[in-house]
Structures are given as structure tokens and as C-alpha cells.
Structure 1
Amino acid sequence: MKKLMIFGAAALLTLSSCVSKKDYMALEDKHKETQDLLNTATVKLNKCLADEAASAARLQELKDRLADMKSSNQALIETSKDLTVLTTQGAKNVEKSLESLKEKDLKISRLQDALTKKDSVTLALVTSLKKEVGLNDEDIEINVEKSVVFISLSDKLLFKSGSYNITSRAKEILAKVATVINGKPNFEAMVEGHTDNVPYNRGGVLQDNWDLSVKRSTSIVRALQELGVKPEQLIAAGRGDHLPLVSNDTAENRAINRRTKIYILPKIDQFYEMIETEMKELSKEG
């Protein structure tokens, strides 16, 4: 561009020396036109350079945004994978929880069945004893205590005062009890003797009310054995005067406390063992 201007000027000087004024003016106009074109081209060139710089900056901005979008997209993909894993694990956990609940429901149902069966056995036993004994006597009680069936007999039906030898009346009642026990070979009978708090002082082999209560129990156990009850089904126990029903402050109350209880214990160990096992399993599983 500079060479063109120098050339034009030189040509103008040369021509001015050898051309007419008219031709000179024409050349000068031509030079001015050329200068205008040059200026216009320069402006356009500068604008193109500016546009190019702006386009380059815009391109870099778009590249940066594209890189950010790719990074974000990759992060979303990774998060989606994590969520998929979490969702799958969550579904498995829910499934396990449902299975655990089903197992617990089954175990609870089994416990309820066992308890229902135990209650049914207890009720049947009470009915059987009341039917067999068949007595409406205030000195004979047939009932349930802590899920255990028992017969409570007043001592005046069984023994004379201070004695451990059973009466003939007692043998009649014990014969009916023996009939029930003999009809249920899987049952046990625990005979438990009780006295009042009056000290035993008749001497002999018995030292105190402990001895008297146990001796009376063994007398009944032997009577039941003689009536056909297997000895392995029988248990003798004595509580002395340490478990009174009422205060020993009157003769009537002391008579109430002098009693013998015969617990009829169905062998439901399998039920209790199952209940205990199931409860332990439920505790472990939380």
C-alpha cells in the first residue's frame, strides 16, 4: 500500500513536469479517489480484524461452556449411576425387611398357637378334674394359678392336727385325683404342703413346720403312688408357714393357711421351649 502511494507521488511529480495542467488535475483527482479507496479499505480491514478478534473470543467462550457442559454431563452420569445403585440397594433392603416381617409374623403366629394350645390343655384339665372330683366343698378348690392347674385341700380333710397320716376321707379324694393323673401319662403332680405359724413342738423326727409340711407332702405322694400313679410323675414339696394366704392372727385364718396344694402339671415343656427359642430369635433379629 505504501509502495503504491510512493509510486503515485513519483508519477505525479514526473507527470507534473511534463504534462499539462488539465492532465495534472485529472491525475490529482485520480489520486484522491485512490486515497479514498485506500482509506475505505483500511477501515474495512480494521473492522474485519476487530470482528475476527471478537469471533475468536466468542469461540473460546463457547469452547469453555462446552467443556463445562461435558463436565456437568459426566457428573450427572456418575450421579445417575450412584442413584441407580442406591435405588437397587434400597429395593433389596425393602425386600429383606418385608421377608423379615413375614418371618416375625410367622413366629408370632406360632407363639400364639402354642399359647392357645397350652390354654386349651389347661382348660380341659380343669374341666376334667372338676368332673372327676365332683365336689362342691369349701375345703376343696380346683383352679388355675399362673397358668398351672391346682387342687387345694384343707388340712382338716387330709390330716388330724399335728399329724402327717392321711385320713380315710383324704383317700377318697386322692383316688379321684389319681384317676385324672393316670389318664394323662404326660402329666406330673407336685404336692406342696403348707402349715400355719404355730411352732411344731411334738418332738420325734420332725423338728419344725418345714419338716411337717414336707412329711405331709410325702404321705400324699405315697398314697397317690399306691393308687397307681407312676412315681416319676410325682413331686413332693413343702413350704412350711412361709407362704400364708392370710394373716395367722386368728384360729380361722390359721386353718385357711393349713392346706395342701396338688399342682397338675401337663408336660408342655415343648411349648415353653419353643416359646423361649422363638423369643430369643425375635430378640436377635431386633
Structure 2
Amino acid sequence: MKLKLIVPMLFIVAAIGQSCVSTKKYKELQSNYNQLDSANRNMKRKYLTSERNLAVVNNRVQSLEEQIASERASAKSLQDALDKCLNSSNQGNVNISKLVDEINRSNKYIQQLVNAKNKSDSLNMVLTNNLTRSLSQQEMRDVDVKVLKGVVYISLSDNMLYKSGSYEISDRANETLSKIAKIIMDYNNYDVLIEGNTDNVPISQKNIRNNWDLSALRASSVVQALQNNFNVDPKRLTAGGRGEYNPVADNSTDAGRAKNRRTEIIITPKLDQFMDLIGKAPEEKQ
């Protein structure tokens, strides 16, 4: 009789023990998920801030170009007016002198704007040349460097940068990142946005919900490598993920998906470098 009671009790104890182990594992997974979710939200906030800053930089560059065109048109109009005065019968010398002064001020401002734009373009070209010269032929197959609207884009393939199916930096990527980090540190007046991109194939891994998470985690891995391994000032760095929504090729082919799986290091001049020039028109004499 006692034996019959003992056997069910053993089953009950075993069931309770299994339940406790399952609950503990669930709490551990829930904690990991909460940490990842919080980190992802923080990265998205930083990424949105960098996107806004990048848009402002592009607007500033466009504004410089528009002001140059406007000032050139104004100078031409003033020159036409001066020619008309010189060809007319004895217009007052005072008006001619005033026109000459206005033309000179306008030309000086045009040259100031042109010099500022040329300086930014020259710095970007030197930065790009220095980087490409430091990379090997093998590295150049996985790295694409270009300049668009005053901004330097360094695109790195995921095959070179990460371990397979992971957001951890691969060993072979460290040498390439060290060369990029040196360029970043040499040009310390530039900010750096690390932007992760994926193809449109859904991700299926624990604690990674979708391509948004994967792209943000990959960008964060690069930021932390630049900071921890190569001593880049973290105040200059921002990590952001764009998921599958910024493709550069057709996702319907293997080659297109490979191009879309990339991480871009975007190097931009700091905004305050433009603020001293934008809106500073030539001073008029009283």
C-alpha cells in the first residue's frame, strides 16, 4: 500500500521540478529580449537624429550652391547695369562708383563661397584617396568608397564584415576596420554614422525579431569595434539600422541581395563648419 502511494508522489515531484526549470529559462529569455528591445529603441533614436543631421548637411551644401548661382546672377546684372551707365551720356560718376563697389563685394562673396565648397570637396577627395590607397586589392573587392554631395560613403559587404548569419565582427574584418579607423581619427572634424542594411529575406534567429533588429545590431557592432578596438571617440559615432528598406539592387537575384546586405560608414563634415558662411552676405557701406 505504501509503495502505491510513493510512485505517484515521485511523478508529482518530477513534474514540479520540470516546471521550475522551464519557468527559469523563460524568465532568462524574457530578460534577454527586454535588453535587446531597449538597446534597439535607443539605436533607432540615435539613428533618427543622425538622419536629420545628414539631411541638414545636404541642405546646407545645396544652399551654398544656390547662393553661388544667385550671387553670380546678381554680379552679371550689376555688370550689365554698369555697362549701360558707361555707354549712356555722362551718367553721374557717383552711381558708377557705387555699382563698382557692389560688384566687387558680390565677387568677393562669391569667391568666399566657392573657396568653402572647394575646400570641403578637396578634403573629401584626399580622405577618399588616402583610404583607397591603404586598402589591398582583396579588400577593395569588399569595400566601395564614393563621395556624394559632400559626404563620404564607405560601403562594406556583410561577407567580409560579419561571421556567417551573425552580427559579430569577423576576424578578417579587423584589419580593414583598423585602416578605416585611422582615416576617421585623422579627420577629427567629421562625424561618423554607421548604417546597417539587409536584403528582404526574413531573419529566423532567437532574440532577433526581424531585419530591423539585425541591421541595427550589425551597425552597433561596428560602432563598438571602432570605439573599443581602435579608440575612435564615441561622441563622433552613431549607429543606425535601415533594415531591408534602403536597397541598392534588385532583391530578386542572389547578386542583388548580396549588394543589399551591407554596412555603410558615412563620414560627414560637422554642421558648425557651414554655419559661419551660410547667411553671411557682403556688408554694405553706409
1:218–1:236 Cα contact (<8 Å) kept:
yes
Match of 2:132 in 1: 130
Change (3 A) 1:135 1:224: farther
Match of 1:155 in 2: 158
1:66-77 mapped onto 2 (5 Å cutoff): none
1:215-254 residue CA offsets vs partner (Å, 9 max, x unmatched): 1101000000011111112111221111111110012211
2:142–2:157 Cα contact (<8 Å) kept:
yes
Q: 2:116 aligns with which of 114, 117, 121?
A: 114
1:126–1:143 Cα contact (<8 Å) kept:
yes
Q: CA deviation at 1:90?
A: 5.5
1:118-166 residue CA offsets vs partner (Å, 9 max, x unmatched): 1111111011111223444322112212221221110001123442111
Cα RMSD for the two superposed structures: 2.4
2:168 and 2:216 map into 1 onto residues whose CA distance is 12
SS class of match (2:267):
strand
Compute the TM-score of the two structures, normalised by the length of structure 2.
Answer: 0.61
Q: 1:202 aligns with which of 177, 202, 205?
A: 205
- Structure 2 residue identity aligned to 1:176: K
SS class of match (1:122):
helix
Q: CA deviation at 1:101?
A: 1.7
**1:101 aligned to 2:103?**
yes
1:92 and 1:211 map into 2 onto residues whose CA distance is 69
Q: CA deviation at 1:269?
A: 3.6
1:247-266 mapped onto 2 (5 Å cutoff): 247-266=250-269
SS class of match (1:241):
coil
SS class of match (2:99):
helix
- Number of corresponding residues: 193
- Structure 2 residue identity aligned to 1:118: S
SS class of match (2:146):
strand
SS class of match (1:168):
coil
Match of 2:213 in 1: 211
2:193–2:265 Cα contact (<8 Å) kept:
yes
Match of 1:142 in 2: 145
2:111 and 2:277 map into 1 onto residues whose CA distance is 11
Match of 1:75 in 2: none
2:163 and 2:200 map into 1 onto residues whose CA distance is 17
1:242 and 1:234 map into 2 onto residues whose CA distance is 22
Match of 1:220 in 2: 222
1:1-286 mapped onto 2 (5 Å cutoff): 91-136=93-138, 137-204=140-207, 206-226=208-228, 227-267=230-270, 269-270=272-273, 272-278=274-280, 281=281
Q: Percent identity?
A: 40
2:104 and 2:205 map into 1 onto residues whose CA distance is 65
Which structure 1 residue ranges, 5 or more long, are not aligned? Answer: 1-86
1:165 and 1:126 map into 2 onto residues whose CA distance is 27
Q: CA deviation at 1:212?
A: 1.2
- Structure 2 residue identity aligned to 1:119: D
1:131 and 1:267 map into 2 onto residues whose CA distance is 25
1:133–1:177 Cα contact (<8 Å) kept:
no
1:238-285 residue CA offsets vs partner (Å, 9 max, x unmatched): 211111111100122111100011122344742x2244224xx38x9x
Q: Which moved more, 1:207-216 or 1:158-167?
A: 158-167
Query: Larger radius of gyration, structure 1 or 2?
Result: 1
1:196–1:254 Cα contact (<8 Å) kept:
yes
SS class of match (1:276):
coil
2:227–2:233 Cα contact (<8 Å) kept:
yes
1:95 and 1:122 map into 2 onto residues whose CA distance is 41
1:165-224 residue CA offsets vs partner (Å, 9 max, x unmatched): 1111111211111122222322322111110011223241x3221121111101000000
Which structure 2 residue ranges, 5 or more long, are not aligned? Answer: 1-88
